[in-house]
């Protein structure tokens, strides 16, 4: 402006003054023309003072109007330079207030200057407006720049946050979104999104979002924690949790929405996984009978879950306290101290059994397993585990244990339990120097009742006898059933033999009372033997042995009496009792064995048969001859189970030889009289043949001549049944029973065995020669095989061969040997092909 006034308006000088920081002065802001560079040296006061040559400038600033014309006397240098110069001061108003003074020195005279004042005042006003506009534009530019900077800063901040930010107008059209929003939906930061966010949502979700925005628009209330879904660029769904807020303009009108969104897809997946896991856990808990439990770091129960309806009530007895403060206890020998030490050491445990009592008094048992809860830093937080109820198992175990130690019929202790009780009694008696007694009891007429009225009646009798025995004895005494009709009693702390005799008489009296069985009144008696500790034995074995021997002595004395063991008992009787006692346990102790004696075919010189012979190797007595123990077995009835064992063992051995590829042989087994008349004989034979697989034609039963002629008709029927099974029948000891040829031809037999009494003196005794020759002739007439037994010399063998005897057996060829040795004899002969068999 000043330059234009000088260069284009022909003015001598032009300058503008404005108040400076010190409001008492007016400073030159711009100048042009005469001494423009030295105008700063002139002091322009902001207030007019008398005598101030420049006072008119101050007056113009304060009045906000124009002033002039003025001569150049105020500025001597200009006066000298241009004496006719005329000065005019014009106020420049900015925003309706004077802010500066424009001073122009014209080259015109005063009259011409007056004509310009009005025009110059207008120019000054326009100048003020222009300056106002320029300042306003500058301010606006500065404001816009600040707004842009603030916006850029605001956008930069939004782009650095992890959550998505969005702005949309009232129609839902996107206005702005940050980088996180683009990343969340799979877009690059600069990639343009479509015009409407609803295309990135399913129709159902778009409707849900629209309703939320509409509610915010109508109410003006922001919404938080909204759960929405967006469609990712790749097509999968993105679950978000966000907010929406209404945006208003300066006049309060709604212009759009803004909000924050957080991608919670992974969190929702984890939550769903946790819910699914919890659901599976709940499902498993609901179908499992096990309990799930948790303890805190102080071992207090804090959680118990189970499918049972009474869980809540049951929890109250455990929750909030350690398990050892409840009424439950450890099962067995363990104690809580040991368990607590394990917990304090943070060790896992498995199947710890605990027990308690239900309100009704019923016991229950549980097996508890647990493991420590440790976080990722190794800090211990307690235990968790499962509890499984095992009441049925423990009850079953107790029942099995009871059954293992008690007789199933009478409920009395069995042999094993009695042995345990007797061992305890021995330790106690030794420690406190006491006496006790062992009584052996055997019912005398039990077999008769059992055979006459049946096994059911026999069982009823044994149960009633057991009850009577318990009533007679003291609570400290014990009675056990050993098997069959045998019982044994342990009398604790007796004063001597007299007290034992008193108890024995009570037992005999209790036994003798009548029994009502199957509508019949029956009576039985008992034979009782007793042994005292320590007089009759210092260990279990001797006490039982001597009591057993005394019991058999009681039987020998006529039964229904009591006998105390006495060292002076007859030696033969005691030996017999010992044998009988040992014989009862021989098979249990595996003392019985079989040996095999070959039968030689006299025509071919080959082995074509074998006889199984029973041997007993007693633990104390050594080998007991069959002639000694067989009669005892017959008398006691033990021959029946022994004979059954012999049959089964012999047949099994014959099959073993066949599987080894050895020749087929007839294996002969002796049949006792009592065994022959056993009603179960045929069924036992069928079962043994089926069990072992031996072809029946290879089994030969040897029956003495005396047995079959006692009841010929019955013998014929039984032998016929045996033949129908396919068995071979041999008459043993033939010639000693005086059976006639007429009788013999009716028996369905296959073999005659010449008794060894005729063979012994065969070489020298003419009577034995005649009898043997007659037997051989009789056999040939009836087409029977004739076997001579007891052959021990060459002369005997020569006579038998010369008289056409079929077979022989005896020490001359082979003594009875074990199975392996006999197999060796057979292997020396021509082998036959191995046949398949069971």
Mean pLDDT for each 10-residue chunk of the chain (838 residues)? 86 89 80 89 84 87 82 87 88 80 83 68 72 77 73 75 86 84 80 72 87 92 89 88 91 91 86 76 63 87 68 64 84 80 90 82 86 89 87 78 83 91 93 94 82 83 94 93 92 93 94 86 89 92 90 82 79 68 84 94 92 91 86 83 94 94 92 86 94 95 79 84 94 65 75 88 87 88 90 92 93 92 83 37
| DSSP element (H, E) containing 488 | strand 486-491
The span from the CA of 279 to the CA of 35, in Å, is 98
State the burial class of residue 773 (Cβ atoms within 10 Å of its Cβ: 0-12, 13-18, 19+): middle
Extract the runs of DSSP E, i.e. beta strands, from 567-640. Answer: 592-601, 607-618, 622-624
Angle separating helix axes 446-453 and 455-472, nearest 10 degrees = 140
In degrees to the nearest 10, what's the CA dihedral of 352, 357, 358, 359? -150
Q: Which residues contact 205 (CB under 8 A, 6 or more apart)?
A: 228, 229, 230
Amino acid 177: pLDDT: 83
The structure tokens listed for 89 are 């001061």
Amino acid 786: pLDDT: 94
Long-range contacts of 362-366 (CB under 8 A, 24+ apart): 363/391, 364/389, 364/391, 365/331, 365/389, 365/390, 365/391, 365/393, 365/394, 366/291, 366/328, 366/390, 366/391
The span from the CA of 588 to the CA of 416, in Å, is 14
User: Which has the closest alpha carbon to 738: 761, 703, 704, 715?
Assistant: 704
Strands 622-624 and 666-671: unpaired
In degrees to the nearest 10, what's the CA dihedral of 288, 289, 290, 291? 100
Bin 783: left if φ > 0, else alpha if -120 < ψ < 50, else beta.
Answer: left
The span from the CA of 732 to the CA of 676, in Å, is 13
| Domains annotated on the chain, with CATH | 2-138 (3.30.450.40), 161-269 (3.30.450.20), 288-396 (3.30.450.20), 406-569 (3.30.70.270), 592-827 (3.20.20.450)
Amino acid 162: pLDDT: 82
What global pTM score does this model have?
Answer: 0.38
Q: Which residues contact 209 (CB under 8 A, 6 or more apart)?
A: 197, 198, 201, 226, 228
What does the DSSP 8-state code read for residue 476? Answer: T
| DSSP element (H, E) containing 470 | helix 455-472
CA dihedral sign of residues 760, 766, 771, 775: positive
The span from the CA of 32 to the CA of 43, in Å, is 17
The span from the CA of 782 to the CA of 297, in Å, is 97
What does the DSSP 8-state code read for residue 223? Answer: E
The structure tokens listed for 483 are 């098997």
Tell me the three state secondary structure of residue 591: coil
Helix, strand, coil percentages in the chain from 3-state DSSP, rounded to 5: 45, 25, 30
Q: Are 650 and 592 in contact (CB under 8 A)?
A: no
Q: How far is CA 3 from CA 6, 129, 378, in A?
A: 5, 19, 86
Amino acid 466: pLDDT: 94
What does the DSSP 8-state code read for residue 134? Answer: H
């Amino acid at each position: 402006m000043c330059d234009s006034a000088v260069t284009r308006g022909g003015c001598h000088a032009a300058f503008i003054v404005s108040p400076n920081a010190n409001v008492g002065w007016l400073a030159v802001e711009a100048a042009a023309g005469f001494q423009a560079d030295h105008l700063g040296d002139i002091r322009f006061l902001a207030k007019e003072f008398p005598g101030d040559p420049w006072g008119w400038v101050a007056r113009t600033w304060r009045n906000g109007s124009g002033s002039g014309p003025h001569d150049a006397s105020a500025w001597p240098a200009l006066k000298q330079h241009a004496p006719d110069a005329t000065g005019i001061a014009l106020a420049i108003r900015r925003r309706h207030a004077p802010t500066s003074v424009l001073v122009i020195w014209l080259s015109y005279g005063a009259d011409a200057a007056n004509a310009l004042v009005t025009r110059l005042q207008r120019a000054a006003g326009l100048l003020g407006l222009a300056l106002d506009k320029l300042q306003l534009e500058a301010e606006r530019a500065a404001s816009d720049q600040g707004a842009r900077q603030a916006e850029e800063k605001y956008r930069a901040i939004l782009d650095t946050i992890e959550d998505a930010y969005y702005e949309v107008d009232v129609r839902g059209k996107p206005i702005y979104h940050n980088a996180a929003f683009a990343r969340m939906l799979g877009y690059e930061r600069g990639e343009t999104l479509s015009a409407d966010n609803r295309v990135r949502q399913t129709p159902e979700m778009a409707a849900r979002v629209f309703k939320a925005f509409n509610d915010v628009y109508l109410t003006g209330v922001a919404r938080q924690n909204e759960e929405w879904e967006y469609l990712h660029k790749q097509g999968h769904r993105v679950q978000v949790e966000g907010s929406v807020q209404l945006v208003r303009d300066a006049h309060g009108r709604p212009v759009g929405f803004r909000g924050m969104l957080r991608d919670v897809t992974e969190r929702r997946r984890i939550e769903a996984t946790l819910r699914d896991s919890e659901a599976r856990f709940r499902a498993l808990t609901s179908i499992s009978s096990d309990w799930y439990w948790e303890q805190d770091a102080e071992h207090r129960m804090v959680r118990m879950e189970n499918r049972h309806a009474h869980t809540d009530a049951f929890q109250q007895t455990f929750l909030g306290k350690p398990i050892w403060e409840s009424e439950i206890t450890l099962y067995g020998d363990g104690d809580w101290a040991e368990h607590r030490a394990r917990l304090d050491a943070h060790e896992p445990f498995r199947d710890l059994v605990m027990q308690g009592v239900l309100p009704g008094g019923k016991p229950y048992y549980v097996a508890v397993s647990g493991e420590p809860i440790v976080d990722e830093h190794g800090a211990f937080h307690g235990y968790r585990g499962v509890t499984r109820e095992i009441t049925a198992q423990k009850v079953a175990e107790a029942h099995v244990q009871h059954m293992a130690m008690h007789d199933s019929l009478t409920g009395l202790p069995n042999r094993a339990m009695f042995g345990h009780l007797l061992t305890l009694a021995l330790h106690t008696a030794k420690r406190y120097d006491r006496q006790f007694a062992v009584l052996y009891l055997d019912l005398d007429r039990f077999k008769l009742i059992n055979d006459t009225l049946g096994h059911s009646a026999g069982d009823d009798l044994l149960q009633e006898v057991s009850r009577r025995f318990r009533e007679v004895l003291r609570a400290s005494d014990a009675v056990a059933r050993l098997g069959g009709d045998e019982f044994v009693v342990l009398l604790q702390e007796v004063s001597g033999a007299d007290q034992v005799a008193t108890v024995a008489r009570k037992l005999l009296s209790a036994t003798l009372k009548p029994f009502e069985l199957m509508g019949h009144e029956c009576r039985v008696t008992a034979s009782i033997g007793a042994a005292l500790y320590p007089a009759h034995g210092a260990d279990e074995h001797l006490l039982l042995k001597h009591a057993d021997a005394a019991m058999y002595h009681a039987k020998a004395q006529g039964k229904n009496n009591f006998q105390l063991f006495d060292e002076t008992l007859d030696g033969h009787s005691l030996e017999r009792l010992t044998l009988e006692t040992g014989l009862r346990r021989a098979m249990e102790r595996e003392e019985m064995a079989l040996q095999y004696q070959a039968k030689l075919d006299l025509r071919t010189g080959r082995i074509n048969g074998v006889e199984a012979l029973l041997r007993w190797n007693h633990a104390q007595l050594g080998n007991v001859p069959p002639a000694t123990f067989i009669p005892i077995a017959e008398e006691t009835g033990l021959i029946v189970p022994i004979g059954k064992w012999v049959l089964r063992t012999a047949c099994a051995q014959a099959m073993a030889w066949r599987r080894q590829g050895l020749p087929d042989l007839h294996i002969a087994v002796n049949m006792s009289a009592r065994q022959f008349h056993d009603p179960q004989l045929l069924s036992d034979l069928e079962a043994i043949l089926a069990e072992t697989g031996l072809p029946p034609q290879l089994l030969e039963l040897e029956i003495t001549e005396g047995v079959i002629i006692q009841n010929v008709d019955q013998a014929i029927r039984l032998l016929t049944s045996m033949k129908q099974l396919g068995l071979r029948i041999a008459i043993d000891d033939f010639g000693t029973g005086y059976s006639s040829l007429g009788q013999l031809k009716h028996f369905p037999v296959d073999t005659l065995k010449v008794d060894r009494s005729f063979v012994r003196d065969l070489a020298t005794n003419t009577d034995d020669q005649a009898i043997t020759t007659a037997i051989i002739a009789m056999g040939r007439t009836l087409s029977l095989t004739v076997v001579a037994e007891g052959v021990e010399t060459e002369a005997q063998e020569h006579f038998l061969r010369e008289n056409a005897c079929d077979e022989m057996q005896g020490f001359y060829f082979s003594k009875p040997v074990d199975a392996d040795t006999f197999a060796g004899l057979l292997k020396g002969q021509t082998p036959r092909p191995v046949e398949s068999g069971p």
